A and B are shown apart, each in its own frame.
Chain A
Amino acid sequence: MTRPWSYRGISHGMIVVALLAVPIQAAAQPSSAAACSGCHAPVNDGPVPGLIGRPAGEIVTAMAAFRAGERTATVMDRIAKGYSDEEINAIAQWYAAQGQPAGNP
């Protein structure tokens, strides 16, 4: 079975290894991130920033700030509070491993 993205994810850190104990096929998103793409488009051309290819650290920092109420938000402050550090890390690693975002110079 080939699952390149999860191997790539694993190379990014231990937390991902723990969370991805169950293998997922190539191109599949972690289920904890499944809902993100409802608003965050693969193409970074709208008012909601795209996440694909964004450095993991950036996503982790933003989520921490949303969760702490330290960053101006409309809904992300309310959503971030529902995710643990481990979940946020796994989501961030996955998005970071997805290559360059379309339409983001």
Chain B
Amino acid sequence: MSESSTMPADTDVEDSSKRDFIFLATGATAAAGVAAVGWPLVAQMGKAADTLAAGSIEIDLTKIAQGQQLKMLWRGKPVFVRHRTAAEIEKAAAADPADLKDPQTDEERLTPDTSGNLRPEFLVMVGVCTHFGCVPVGEAGEFDGWYCPCHASHYDTSGRIRKGPAPKNMAIPPYSFVTDSVIKVG
């Protein structure tokens, strides 16, 4: 601005501390405001209370004959309960964890029953391929476990990834034995 400014004379005396205060106070309020409005906008996208509360399911193991697999929906995803044959258990135990992409022994994938024993005949896992989430097909693939048709991932009889693009073994859901023949998933 030139000397012949049209501003009233008294504003020539600038109280810069007053401006600093206004600037900082407005800035701080704006930052707090953006955060206060921004967080709810982000958080509303997450799981709602009713989704989180989606309970647990109980499964009666006596209904599953040897060599059969039960599929149940839990939190929108299928849970597999497979009653494994002796040959399948043997195969699962025989694999050397050191050779695996996601090293885990078959025993590590089981949960003890009410008397503290492992029950290798029942394999409980989330039937979701760890690649992009398709549901693998049972008794298929090069390892006679599961085969995911989406992008060709092969899982063994313990649900561990053996070949293909999936990075991890199929997940084991949190579950416990209610009695010796009933489990509770979730």
Say whether A and B bind each other. Answer: no
Give chain A's interface residues, CB within 8 Å of chain B: none
Chain B residues packing against A (C-beta within 8 Å): none
